[in-house]
Copies of this chain bind each other. A is one copy, B any other.
Amino acid sequence: MTIRRVTSPAAPEPPPERWSNCLVVDGIAYVSGMTARGADVKDLAGRDEYEQSKIIFTKIKGLIEAAGGAMSDVVKITVFVTEIANNTKVWQARREFFTGNFPASTLVEVSGLAAPEIKVEIEAIAHIGKGMR
C-alpha cells in the first residue's frame, strides 16, 4: 500500500512540483496548510477570518471526503492567523464543521502568510474512518 494522492474539486491543486493538497497512507490523511485563496486572490480582500476559515474548512472537508472519510475523522488541526485577536472568528467557522469531540488544535499568530489578503492558513491530520459516525 503506497502513498496515495487525493484530490477534490473543492480544493484546486497547485501547479506541478509545488505540493499535494492531501496525501493518504496507512489510513492517515495529511492535508497541506490550506488558504481561502482560489482562482482569484482578489476575492479575499474583503473577507475576514470567519469567511476565510469557512472556505478553508470546506476545502478540507472536500479532501477528507475524497479520501473516504468525514470531518469526524480529523484528529488535529493547526491554525496560523495573522491577527490572533480575531481567533474567535476562526472558532466560529470551526463550529460549523465539527460536532462532538473537536479535533486537537493549535492556533498561533504568524508574521505573514502567502499573500497580504490571506489571514488564515489551516492544516489537518485525519485518521480515515476512525471518527464517530
Measured CB to CB, the residues of A under 8 A from B are: 1-3, 5, 17-23, 25-28, 30-33, 72-73, 75-76, 78, 80, 84, 87, 91, 94-95, 98, 101-114, 121, 123, 125, 127, 130-132
Contact = CB atoms under 8 A, between A and B. Distances in A.
Contacts of A94: 17
This protein's copies in its complex: 3
29 contacts: A2-B130, A2-B131, A3-B72, A3-B75, A3-B127, A3-B131, A17-B94, A17-B98, A18-B91, A18-B105, A19-B103, A20-B104, A20-B105, A25-B75, A25-B127, A26-B27, A26-B28, A30-B103, A30-B125, A32-B105, A33-B78, A33-B107, A78-B106, A78-B123, A80-B106, A80-B108, A106-B123, A108-B112, A109-B113
